[in-house]
Amino acid sequence: MNILVTGAAGFIGFHLSKRLLAHNYSVIGVDNLNGYYDVRLKKERLKILESNEKFQFYKVDLVNQEALNQIFKNHSIPIVINLAAQAGVRYSLTHPQSYVHSNLVGFVNILEACRHYQVEHLLYASSSSVYGANTKIPFSTQDSVDHPVSIYAATKKANELMGHTYSHLFNIPTTGLRFFTVYGPWGRPDMAYYSFTKDIIEGKTIKVYNNGDMSRDFTFIDDIVEGIVKLLDHPPKPDTKRNPCPSSSHAPYKIYNIGNNSPVRLMDFINILENLIGKKAKLEFAPMQPGDVKETYADITDLQNDAGFTPETSLEIGLGHFVEWYKNFHD
Ligand SMILES: NC(=O)c1ccc[n+]([C@@H]2O[C@H](COP(=O)([O-])OP(=O)(O)OC[C@H]3O[C@@H](n4cnc5c(N)ncnc54)[C@H](O)[C@@H]3O)[C@@H](O)[C@H]2O)c1
């Protein structure tokens, strides 16, 4: 079976594609290989995927609707997993248009392709950042997510709204995946776990925001991939209850949190990293960054009930894999 993975040269798309290929799916990868972070990393990931003959790659921007449609014309594609997006909270304060381009215009093009080429299940990346100013923990898909605090979060919430509309109007089963701080080998250099590792190794000072008073539900990449794979076979069905909860609908629409369900305090995270690297970090304490949130913590009840899956990798184990990869890759 063919599966289209957008953002296939990205961190999550690479790992997911690798896993799907190992499960004997044929993967059609799409990515524009943009320069948001080191393109070499994207090309290295791609090289690994392209060594498998069941992987076919298109260097296409989601905004190029004609090129995108051509891919759907060339292949029969029952399942689409949309991971391509402009990611990053901080960058969205300075480059909002980039989020409009990829996350809004690009996503509508994906929805339109799913509509016109009879896709049976669309899964797409949302984000824990949609919880924005929410202070109730753990974050539940039953909670209101009407108070985003960055343009990044607003575009992810918009994806969920647009997904719902297409589920309703055209009966396309859509599954939105709210990922919580994903980390692991081949990860993203713009994320703290990556830049902290680099700076500790190089003896540089790291900035600790909100004076260290933050926590994150760090989720290991293999757990994210496992969660997605488990949900492939569960296209959402209409919820027949009179008043469906916010994460479901009378349309075939569903939202899941995929997180580790065990937040770690920033200072403990730094401590684990120091132990793994075998070197003390030089710290500079700084105030909270605009757009940032103090805490994330996933309620994963729906994932457990529907997919029978609970992420279990501890930060010590997962970061151990990352640090080992980092040292080899940057040798
Ligand atoms: N990594 C995390 O912690 C995390 C957390 C929550 C949500 N997410 C979401 O998960 C998805 C994957 O994230 P990631 O960490 O792998 O990021 P990533 O930046 O490594 O991967 C995204 C890929 O999409 C490609 N891309 C971006 N815009 C495109 C466009 N217009 N057309 C075609 N390709 C385009 C990029 O070149 C990149 O390779 C994103 O939607 C992101 O917002 C990630």
DSSP result, 271-328: HHHHHHHTSPPEEEE-PPPTT--SB--B--HHHHHHH-------HHHHHHHHHHHHHH
Helix, strand or coil, per DSSP, at residue 205:
strand
Q: State residue 288's pLDDT score.
A: 93
Q: Is the CB of 102 under 6 A from ligand 1?
A: yes
Which positions are catalytic?
152
Instruction: Give me ligand 1 centre to Cα 241, in Å.
Output: 34
Contact (CB, 8 A) for 32 and 24: no
The closest alpha carbon to 284, from 273, 272, 270, belongs to: 270
pTM: 0.98
Q: Is the CB of 87 under 6 A from ligand 1?
A: yes
Q: State residue 243's pLDDT score.
A: 83
Q: State residue 51's pLDDT score.
A: 98
Q: State residue 204's pLDDT score.
A: 98
Tally of CA atoms within 13 A in the half-sphere of 258 that contains its CB: 33
* C-alpha span between 225 and 215 (Å, rounded): 23
> Which domains, and CATH codes, for the chain?
2-184+218-261+297-313 (3.40.50.720)
Alpha helices in the chain (DSSP H): 11-22, 39-50, 65-74, 91-94, 96-99, 106-116, 151-170, 192-201, 221-232, 266-277, 301-307, 315-329
* C-alpha span between 92 and 245 (Å, rounded): 30
Given ligand 1 and candidates 12, 59, 64, which is best to mutate, with the most ligand atoms within 8 Å of its CB? 12
Residue found under tokens 């509508």? 108
> Which pair of tokens denotes residue 296?
């994330």
Q: Is the CB of 178 under 6 A from ligand 1?
A: no
* C-alpha span between 182 and 218 (Å, rounded): 6
Whole-angstrom Cα Rg for the chain: 19
Q: State residue 133's pLDDT score.
A: 82
Residue 187: which H helix or E strand, with range? none
- Block means of pLDDT (10 residues each) for the chain, 331 residues, are 97 98 98 98 98 98 98 98 97 97 98 98 98 92 95 98 98 98 98 97 96 95 98 94 90 98 96 97 94 93 96 97 97 86
Q: State residue 31's pLDDT score.
A: 98
Q: State residue 135's pLDDT score.
A: 87
Question: Ligand 1: which residue has its CA nearest to atom 2?
Answer: 182
- Tens of pLDDT, residue by residue over 102-137, are 999 999 999 999 999 999 999 999 999 999 988 899
Contact (CB, 8 A) for 144 and 130: no
